[in-house]
């Protein structure tokens, strides 16, 4: 999403998860929804921290992949200065990235039949 003339992207990282967990009840990231379900100020502040943490994760990962990359993350303060529509759209994109990056994908091959089991089956 374009914010203040630049594209803001997100990536879920361990660092980002830790930053989000820090603001959660009992520092439990699984309780994040409690924050965004609460009063307006708490919900919006939590969403801004979430945006900043995932933006930072993307920007830092880019810098490590390309040391010449110039980081320009979306900060909590910058997010909170957006109007409601922009803020909500940015938070929605951050949530999508969080969910997508959290999916476990494992490629597995079907087990191959050994010669022993094949011989036993034909006997």
Burial of 50 (0-12, 13-18, 19+ CB in 10 A): buried
Q: What pTM was computed for the model?
A: 0.81
Residue pLDDT tens, the chain, 123 long: 999 999 999 999 999 999 999 999 999 999 999 999 989 999 999 999 999 999 999 999 999 999 999 999 999 999 999 999 999 999 999 999 999 987 655 455 555 555 555 555 444
Mean pLDDT over all residues of the chain? 89
Q: Which residue has the tokens 């708490």?
A: 42
Query: By residue range, what is the domain housing residue 32?
Result: 2-122
So what's the pLDDT on residue 108?
Answer: 52
Task: State how many domains the chain has.
Answer: 1
So what's the pLDDT on residue 123?
Answer: 46
Measured CA to CA, the distance from residue 119 to residue 116 in angstroms comes to 5
């Amino acid at each position: 999403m374009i914010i203040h003339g630049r594209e803001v992207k997100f990536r879920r990282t361990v660092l980002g998860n830790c930053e989000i967990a820090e603001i959660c009840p009992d520092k439990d990231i699984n309780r994040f929804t409690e924050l965004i379900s609460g009063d307006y100020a708490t919900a919006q502040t939590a969403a801004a921290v979430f945006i900043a943490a995932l933006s930072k994760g993307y920007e830092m990962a880019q810098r490590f992949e390309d040391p010449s990359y110039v980081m320009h993350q979306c900060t909590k303060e910058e997010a909170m200065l957006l109007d409601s529509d922009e803020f909500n759209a940015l938070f929605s994109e951050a949530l999508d990235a969080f969910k997508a990056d959290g999916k476990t994908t494992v490629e597995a091959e079907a087990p191959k039949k050994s010669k022993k089991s094949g011989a036993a089956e034909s006997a």
